[in-house]
Amino acid sequence: MPELPEVETVVRALRQPLVGRTFTEVRTYWPRRIGRPGLPEFKRWLHGQTVSAIGRRGKYILIHLADGDTLIVHLRMSGHLAVTPPDAERDKHTHTILRLDDGRELRFRDQRKFGRMYLVADPEEIVGKLGPEPLLASFTVDLLTERLQGRKRTLKPLLLDQSFVAGIGNIYADEALFYAGLHPERKSDTLTPADIHRLHAAIRKVLALGIAREGASIDLYTKPDGSKGEMQNAVAVFRRTGQSCYTCGQPIQRIVLGGRSTHFCARCQH
C-alpha cells in the first residue's frame, strides 16, 4: 500500500531518469486508468511534453511539465511506476506505457487497477483538498491542535482522512498511534495538549522512518527497480496480530475501524 514514505521513495527514484525527458508516445490498455481528461485528449495533450520536475503531495506523484501542466499519478493499492528499456518484458498488469525520447519507457503497472493518472493545467484540481504535509516545518503542534478544534472523531479514521493530514495510510496510522500511546478508538476531542504533542511527534517519526527505510514492502509495494523496502521489518504493530508488543510483551490486538484493519497494544495505548 503506497503511502507517503513509499510514494516519496518512488519520486526520488524517478527524478533522475525522468527529469528532462520528453514523452513521445502514450499507450494504454485500460482506459479507466486515466482519471481526467478523457483518453484521446490525454494522449494528444501529453505528446511532446517535457518533464521539468517531479515532486509529491500526500500520496500523489506530481510530474511537472515544461509548459506548466502537471501529470499526476496516484498508486492507490497496487500501483507501480518504473522506467524500463523498451524491450523489457511487459508484465501482464502493466496497463499504461509512456514512451520517452531516450528510447526508454515509463510504465504504470497496477494489479488491482485502482491507480489513476491525471493530466491537468492546475494540480490543485486534484490535490487541492489535501490537508497539510506532515513532514514540512509548517506542520507544527499548533497547527495540529488548531485542526483538531471543534471536531469529535475517532482517531484512526481521522488519521486516514487525507483532508486532515496528507499521506498517512493504514500502516503509518497504526504505527503513529502506537508511538503516541493513543488508542485507535480514542475520540479526538478528548486529547490533552500532551497527547497532541505525542501524536504530532509520532506522525513525523514513523513517516521519516518509513522514508529512511524506503517504504514498507507489505503486499505488493516495491521500489521502481523492483527491490523491496525495509520498513516492513521495523513495524511495531501493523499486521503483528497476536505477536508480542516490543514494549510490554502483551499480544498485539486487531480490530476493524472504519472498515480498516487496525492493530494496537491494549496495554500501551489509551
Partner DNA sequence: ACCGGAGCCTGTTAGC
Partner DNA sequence: TGCTAACAGGCTCCGG
Size of the site for DNA (CB under 7 A): 36
253 near DNA, judged by CB under 7 A = no
28 near DNA, judged by CB under 7 A = no
58 near DNA, judged by CB under 7 A = yes
63-91 residues labelled b (16+ CB within 10 A) or e (exposed): bbbeeebbbbbbbebbbbbbbbeeeeeee
x/- contact string, 145-174, with DNA (CB under 7 A)?
A: -----xxxxx--xx-x-x------xxx---
The catalytically annotated residue of 21, 59, 99, 156 is 59
Q: How far is the CB of 1 from DNA (least distance, A)?
A: 4
**Pick 219 or 230: Cβ nearer DNA:** 219
**Pick 9 or 188: Cβ nearer DNA:** 188
Angle value at C-alpha 26, between 19 and 65, nearest 5 degrees:
30
Q: DSSP characters for 92-145?
A: TTEEEEEEETTS-EEEEEETT---EEEEES-THHHHTT----TTSTT--HHHHH
Instruction: Return the C-alpha cell found at 46.
Output: 501529453
Cα–Cα distance measured from residue 218 to residue 267, given in angstroms and rounded to the nearest whole number: 26
**Pick 27 or 129: Cβ nearer DNA:** 129
**Pick 65 or 160: Cβ nearer DNA:** 160
x/- contact string, 105-144, with DNA (CB under 7 A)?
A: ------xxxx--------------x---------------
Q: Is residue 76 among the annotated active site residues?
A: no
**Pick 91 or 230: Cβ nearer DNA:** 91
Which residues are known catalytic residues? 2-3, 59, 260
Give residues in contact with DNA (CB under 7 A). Answer: 1, 3, 32, 58-59, 74, 76-78, 93, 111-114, 129, 150-154, 157-158, 160, 162, 169-171, 188, 219, 239, 256-261
